[in-house]
Amino acid sequence: PSSLNDDEFAMIKNHPVSGYDRMMGMDMKKLNVRTLASIARQHHEHMDGHGYPDHAKGGQIHKYAQIVAVADVYDALTSSRAYKKAYPPHVAYKIMTKCSGKQFNEDLLNTFFDHVAIYPVGCILKTNWGLGIVKKVRAGLTRFPILTIFTNTHNDLLETPLDIDIADYGLEAIHSVMDDMEVFSTIRKLGVDPSQYLLNDEES
């Protein structure tokens, strides 16, 4: 129920080799067993050689294992565990991009996040203009959502909401993502649920 101690982590680090051995012993005629087994063995290797179990690096790591490594870490970060809460996508993005080139293949990491909503539809952002709700996310431009701004910078409700494409202004226009408690407090203060702007957009 808590973080792993050194002995427990050492035991966990055996799973890539155990998976490799088991898969190499399987009879799967229509599948490339060696490729699948290599993924199992190498999905915790790092591009700079600091992973495990073999300290493989760069081109020594199977391309499919490099892909799975990205997906595996993202899943771990955005899932709840006994010892931690799930991180939201934008936090996982920040953590993983700091490891780009060291732990992950940079091109594969960028491709992954080009197709994963860093700011999912419905999340509330603090911006240069006030509070905005994400109304649209586009492949290749996931860092630059389209928002409906519904307050000014003093958190006063706007009479006419404003649609903004962050791609026209740059990432510095986004200050932060509101957490659940902040959103709840804002809804109580304004007497308006921002999700109504998404419903209005769908109806139009």
What SS3 class is residue 182? helix
pLDDT at 30: 66
pLDDT tens figures, 62-89: 999 999 999 999 999 999 987 789 999 9
Q: How far is CA 176 from CA 2, 64, 126, 167, in A?
A: 29, 34, 5, 16
Residue 175: DSSP 8-state: E
Residue 204 in this model has a pLDDT that exceeds 80: no
Structural contact between residues 138 and 117, judged by C-beta atoms closer than 8 angstroms: no
**pTM for this model (two decimals):** 0.87
The percentage of residues in the chain with a pLDDT greater than 90, rounded to a whole number, is 84
pLDDT at 203: 46
Count CB atoms within 10 A of the CB of residue 151: 22
Higher pLDDT, 84 or 174: 174
